[in-house]
Amino acid sequence: MQIQSVFDKAFAAYGKVIEGYDFSELLKTLEENSEKPADSVIYVPSVEILEKLPVFEDLKNNCYGGMPIQIGYCNGTNTKLNCYEYHRDSEIDIAADDAILLVAKEQDIIDGEIAAEKTEAFLCPKGTGVELYATTLHYAPCSAKKGEGFRVIIVLPKFTNEDKPDITPKNEEDKWLWARNKWLIAHKDSDEAKQGAHIGITGENVDIADLI
């Protein structure tokens, strides 16, 4: 696997770099008010101190066309894929540290499975914001340098990743619903698989430890 850049043409299949925004205050606030675990990953969907910043209105009205949104973060240290998730809409990721995004295409899910070898890796440099399209499979970011962690802002429609609605499955995809507006496909070696997530990533779990 080659680590590409979100500025490369290859990234266009998965998303695009967001231009015209000043993320400096948002990222500074994140750095001052969140931890960066050295041996795990933490995700917080909605953080009031981030959502009170002026850029919140810009992201809500410009990026999401006025729809209700939330700003949270995903911080930590990680080198493995483990799972893929997707939503019914785009996700905005803004890197406070260099981070690597592991992505694939929802279209490559066949009969509930996707080969791990379909994964591509893209470096998102510090200070860069990207839109990941609704059809882009993704999960926790990865460290860009060995032994170093990351902080990444995560912007999504309001209530995404909160408690899963109580539904009666009408089809196979309904069984993959893991949280609100979050469909999950796990590798058999992941903790999520042990917790009952749908196992659908085949092959060896992607690990970029030797590439950074």
Q: Determine contact, residues 106/138, Cβ cutoff 8 Å.
A: no
**CA R_g for the chain:** 16
Question: Identity (one letter) of the amino acid at 95?
Answer: A
For 61-94, what is each residue's pLDDT tens digit?
Answer: 999 999 999 999 999 999 999 999 999 999 999 9
Predicted confidence (pLDDT) per residue in 94-120, tens digit: 999 999 999 999 999 999 999 999 999
Domains of the chain from N-terminus onward:
3-211 (2.60.120.10)
Beta strands in the chain, from DSSP E residues, in sequence order: 3-5, 15-17, 41-44, 69-76, 83-86, 91-95, 99-105, 114-115, 120-124, 129-132, 136-137, 142-143, 150-157, 177-179, 182-187, 199-202
143, HSE (Cβ side, Cα atoms, 13 Å): 21
Number of other CB atoms surrounding residue 104 within 10 Å? 26
Dihedral sign from CA coordinates of 25, 75, 178, 13: positive
Q: Please tell me the distance from the alpha carbon of residue 185 to that of residue 201, in angstroms, as a whole number.
A: 7
Task: Say how far residue 178 (Cα) sits from the centre of its chain.
Answer: 15
- Please list the residues that pair with 177 across neighbouring strands: 183
Q: Write the pLDDT tens digit of every residue in 6-57.
A: 999 999 999 999 999 999 999 999 999 999 999 999 999 999 999 999 999 9
Q: Is 107 left (phi over 0), alpha (psi -120 to 50) or beta?
A: alpha
In 3D space, the residue among 142, 178, 119 whose CA is nearest the CA of residue 41 turns out to be: 142
Tokens 């460290």 appear where? 143
pLDDT tens digits, one per residue of 169-181: 999 999 999 999 9
Q: 159: exposed, middle or buried (C-beta count within 10 Å: 0-12, 13-18, 19+)?
A: middle
Neighbours of 141 (CB within 10 A): 25
Q: Is the pLDDT of residue 147 over 90?
A: no
